[in-house]
Chain A
């Protein structure tokens, strides 16, 4: 599947950008020319040979802060996605197989989570659990998990009722076999799409939380934090917010692009199109 994603131009762009950001996250802190926490003499300086992106209100090198902050931002987004994935997909698939009580409980839980206002909840929980990156990301992941719950449940449901699963059961297949051989491949593409989308959302959320000062202790740099600092001194360096904004947006955009590419190659779009075309006389609902 990965190779097929790379055959699409959008897929290549998305993977390229994401690879670049990942590289930043791994190598960024080592590449930073200055200590991101150490202030210098020049305050709010413009770009120069010594400080490519200038310095902030404490005289810290902005480039170093961005490079160093990339790890926290990317790791945060990955954490959010993983928590959402695990907390959503497993109950999503099991809700189809584990009987009506489990199904009822998980459905209500998912509805409740969706109904809660997002940021307010995140702020409240970090206040409760303490202000740290893991707590914040965990909370956000749980908040997003209903998306995974729904996607994986819907896919599992449609597969579970299908005749090819019945055909496997007639041949003596166990539930484990059915999930491995039939359910999994059908559930995977929509989950991959959801995952790419969540990584984007996670990124925005991590950035906005750190922008608000939630989740990280102030001196530690993050992209959202740099953006917040830049916004505070707009009159001195009006162009400054563009750099972190651009980084955040490019990442989110790449994630969404990747989601589209997965959807294209996973054949879901192809099959739906064939159906619509095949249904000929029944006009496509989606049109």
Chain B
């Protein structure tokens, strides 16, 4: 049975200038041990999709089921119970904003465990720190006193520390150098192989291709492709996907290609 089941999801944002239809009839499913990559234009609704799954944004239509439970039917108490059990976690796109500026790295990492009332907090923290290759000396720092990549690894560590079964990752490696990026991706692969389901949102097609079983392409709020990774990369169907893959820069300078417009 799938861990996450989204059917015909619609999301609107209310603005002063009117309603904005962000997600249109999005359907997606994710089983334990499976990784789905989500790629798409900036502003196409990838973060919105993740935030809706987490209940941070209200859906205007459609159904989201986590672990078989329709989340729309949950009362606030039940939502809190579900979250506290650590079923689902989220790595925010902007690590700096997602960490309390007044809490040290130690306190930020400990928070999800303390909410659960877990034991052995310090050991768990040290273990996860080593896995994202962060120095213990950073534990006493505030988020503002870290480099961009260090903050990002703290955000990833925080989401993984409760060993959730479903993890939504919003650009989790965008601020990492290639060596650290490989490290985090390997960690994610290990989790995946141990049965964790991952929703991996990224603009870095190489990382997505390397980790995802399937790739879903979001374009103007619609999923225009949802197929096995190798197929999407090698035989893209939608014009946007084709343009995207053609525009990926490579180390060879001469390869510089300017993208052409998408035919309507």
Contacts and interface: CB of A to CB of B under 8 A. Distances in A.
| A/B contact in complex, CB under 8 angstroms | yes
Interface of A: 162-164, 166-174, 177, 181-182, 185-186, 267, 271, 274
B166 to A, nearest CB: 12
B83 A186 contact: no
Contacts of A167: 90, 92, 98-99, 158
B146 to A, nearest CB: 14
Contacts of A171: 83-84, 86, 89, 111-112, 115-116, 162
Given A164-B98, A170-B54, A181-B100, 13 more contacts: A163-B98, A164-B100, A167-B92, A167-B98, A167-B158, A170-B56, A170-B83, A170-B90, A172-B84, A174-B80, A177-B115, A267-B102, A271-B101
Contacts of B56: 166, 169-170
Interface string B76-118: 0000111111101110101001111111000000011001100
Contact of A186 (B90, B99, B102, B144): B102
Contacts of B85: 172
A172 B97 contact: no
Contacts of B116: 171-172
Of the candidates B85, B98, B99, B162, the one having the most CB atoms from chain A within 10 angstroms of its own CB is: B98
A225 to B, nearest CB: 45
A124 to B, nearest CB: 42
A163 B94 contact: yes
B253 to A, nearest CB: 30
B178 to A, nearest CB: 27
Contact of B111 (A166, A168, A274): A168
Interface string B105-143: 000000110011000000000000000000000000000
9 contacts: A164-B98, A167-B158, A168-B115, A171-B86, A171-B116, A172-B83, A172-B112, A173-B115, A274-B144
A166 B116 CA distance: 16
Contacts of B144: 274
A108 to B, nearest CB: 23
Contact of B81 (A164, A169, A172, A181): A172
B84 A185 contact: no
A167 B83 CA distance: 11
Contacts of A174: 80
B83 A185 contact: no
Given A168-B111, A170-B54, A170-B90, A162 B102 contact: no
Contacts of A274: 144
Nearest to B89: A170
B97 to A, nearest CB: 4
A274 B97 CA distance: 15
Nearest to A164: B100
Given A171-B112, A171-B162, A164 B83 contact: no
B128 to A, nearest CB: 14
Interface string B157-190: 0100010000000000000000000000000000
Contact of B102 (A169, A170, A173, A185): A185
A177 B80 CA distance: 12
Nearest to A266: B102
A177 to B, nearest CB: 7
Nearest to B143: A164
Contacts of B97: 162-164
Given A167-B158, A177-B115, A172 B80 contact: yes
Contacts of A267: 102
Interface pairs A-B: 4 shortest CB-CB: A172-B84, A172-B83, A171-B112, A164-B100
B255 to A, nearest CB: 33
Given A163-B92, A177-B115, A181-B111, A169 B83 contact: yes
Contact of B115 (A172, A182, A271): A172
Contacts of A168: 111, 115
Contacts of A169: 56, 83
Contacts of A185: 102
Nearest to B82: A172
A159 to B, nearest CB: 9
Contacts of B92: 163, 166-167
B118 to A, nearest CB: 11
B51 to A, nearest CB: 8
Nearest to A162: B97
Contacts of B103: 164, 181
Contacts of B102: 185-186, 267
